[in-house]
Structure 1
Amino acid sequence: MGVVVDVEHPTRALRTITYNLHEGRATAELSDLAAVHDVDALCLQECDTRRLPETVGPLVLAAATRLNRLGLALYYRPERLHAHGHALRPLRRSMHDRFLAPAHERLLAVRFEDLHDHGALLTLASIHTAPLSATNAMRRHQITEALGAIRATAHATSTLVVGDFNYPWFARSLTRRLSRQGFQVSHSDQPTYVGRGIRGHFDFAISEGMEIASVRTLRQAASDHLPVLVESRVRAPVPTPTMEHDTAGG
């Protein structure tokens, strides 16, 4: 039996939360976050993948990393989204990765059909780039690699990549670089990291072919990151620019 597209349902923005769970400490917050904010998708980082529930309220687990204990996961609302498969990818390894081997897979992408938006196709992805011990240049390599991999397999669908980018400084330069490649960088209204005396926008959204209605920082309890709520809609396709190769530092 095929998937039934609910064309009569009034379309509202797709509500996606990204949250770094701080080595799984904030897992207990997920059910309340999903319920209070009427969430359609949860994109998580630093999950304890050995203890992830199969469901979080009305959301079901699409996929999670398996090769590292603290990894990525993505939950979705099946009444709104129909999953068409997922991909897990390693990204370029930083010195932190080489010596400590904390995470083999740093990108989790799931392709969906939006049943409340006339069957629009989109890719949602959770990403966790290298920590601040690496350079911005390394993180730009990882981000560019991730976006290029999604473009190569998304078949011109719209894309929303959210997560912990560890990129609180020189973010305007990143925004300009990605804008030239056809991507939109969207930061929230408040900083998203509050640990170790550092504040900044570590967690944000990068999109292509999406209308971003709002990006808001939410409250947290057990994590050093704050969850971020992104409200978005798929928009009409646009020509795809050629991806640049990042050769500069910074």
Structure 2
Amino acid sequence: MGLDKGRALRTISYNLHEGRATVELAALASAHEVDALCLQECDTRRLPETVGPLVLAGATQRNRLGLALYYRPERLHAHGHELRPLRRSMHDRFLSPAHERLLAVRFEDLHDDGALLTLASIHTAPLSATNAMRRHQITEALGAIRAAAHGSSALVVGDFNYPWFASSLTRRLSDQGFQVSHSDLPTYVRKRFRGHFDFAISEGMDIESVRTLEQAGSDHLPVLVQSRVRAFVPARLMDRGCAGG
């Protein structure tokens, strides 16, 4: 049975805790009929090419804790991906290489009249860095995605390591035209910390829901985002922009 073409785009973000939760991915994708998986802390040397009906769009190569993105080709047509370094924190300098903290993939949504969007997986600096450093990394990442998107929509999900003073981040990004969406429950509940480490930032998207899911092998919980493209840009405009870049 094919997918309901009228349903929202379903994206899961999951920090795999140094690859330990990789074995959960197929069950997660199946249980929630996922269209995209945006992953952090992958062991990219051991990632499968497919996870159920999803195929690997791209992954970092040199990071100790990698990023990866899988998508459902029945719904999404990939137009290429970009790996991007962000400003390096002191943690990154001592534990290099850890500079590829953003993986963005441009897609055409075949179930939404060819609407264009960018999906991205991000992993900002850990709690040993300052919120100011993470804000700079987030702003840098969003600026790069916006510049390459040619007016199309974007959904950035991942481990932002920003559980405290998040309202300030939300206000700052709202002033720049972005929407921050947190899930219904905390996404990290172990050790001394508890809070929304993992969430979504979007532009030109209608966010229908953001829900924290159960987990087993990771210290983070996966987050399911259901969204729809609000700003429609035909695919041919993306092709022109890519050709000129």
Does the residue aligned with 1:67 lie in a helix, a strand or coil?
coil
Aligned counterpart, 1:47: 42
Q: For 1:221 and 1:35, how far apart are their aligned partners in 2? A: 16
Is 2:82 the partner of 1:68? no
Aligned counterpart, 2:184: 189
Aligned counterpart, 2:239: none
Q: Could you tell me the TM-score, scaled by structure 2's length?
A: 0.92
Alignment-mate amino acid for residue 79 of structure 2: H
Q: Could you tell me the TM-score, scaled by structure 1's length?
A: 0.90
Report how far residue 102 of structure 1 moved.
Answer: 4.7
Alignment-mate amino acid for residue 7 of structure 2: R
When you count helix as a share of all residues, which structure comes out higher?
Answer: 2
Moved more, 176-185 or 229-238: 229-238
Q: How does 1:22-171 map to 2 (within 5 A)?
A: 22-171=17-166
- The Cα offsets for residues 165-189 of structure 1, whole Å up to 9 and x where unpaired, read as 0000000000000000000000000
Between the two proteins, what is the percent identity of the paired residues? 86
Q: For 1:126 and 1:46, how far apart are their aligned partners in 2? A: 11
Q: For 1:157 and 1:14, how far apart are their aligned partners in 2? A: 15
Aligned counterpart, 1:248: none
Does the residue aligned with 1:152 lie in a helix, a strand or coil?
helix
Report how far residue 163 of structure 1 moved.
Answer: 0.1
Residue segments in structure 2 that go unaligned for 5+ positions in a row: 234-245
Q: For 2:5 and 2:67, how far apart are their aligned partners in 1? A: 31
Contact 2:184/2:212 (8 A) holds in 1: yes
- The Cα offsets for residues 1-40 of structure 1, whole Å up to 9 and x where unpaired, read as xxxxxxxx63210000000000000000000000000000
Q: For 2:208 and 2:227, how far apart are their aligned partners in 1? A: 5
Residue segments in structure 1 that go unaligned for 5+ positions in a row: 1-8, 239-250
Q: For 1:132 and 1:102, how far apart are their aligned partners in 2? A: 18
Report how far residue 68 of structure 1 moved.
Answer: 1.7
Is 2:2 the partner of 1:14? no
Contact 1:41/1:59 (8 A) holds in 2: yes
Q: For 1:32 and 1:179, how far apart are their aligned partners in 2? A: 35
Contact 1:50/1:69 (8 A) holds in 2: no
Does the residue aligned with 1:131 lie in a helix, a strand or coil?
coil
4+ runs of 1 displaced by more than 3 Å? none
Report how far residue 195 of structure 1 moved.
Answer: 2.1
Q: What RMSD in Å do the two structures reach over aligned CA positions? A: 1.5
Aligned residues: 232
Q: For 1:156 and 1:228, how far apart are their aligned partners in 2? A: 26
Does the residue aligned with 2:46 lie in a helix, a strand or coil?
coil
Q: 1:173 aligns with which of 168, 177, 183?
A: 168
Report how far residue 237 of structure 1 moved.
Answer: 5.9
Is 2:205 the partner of 1:205? no
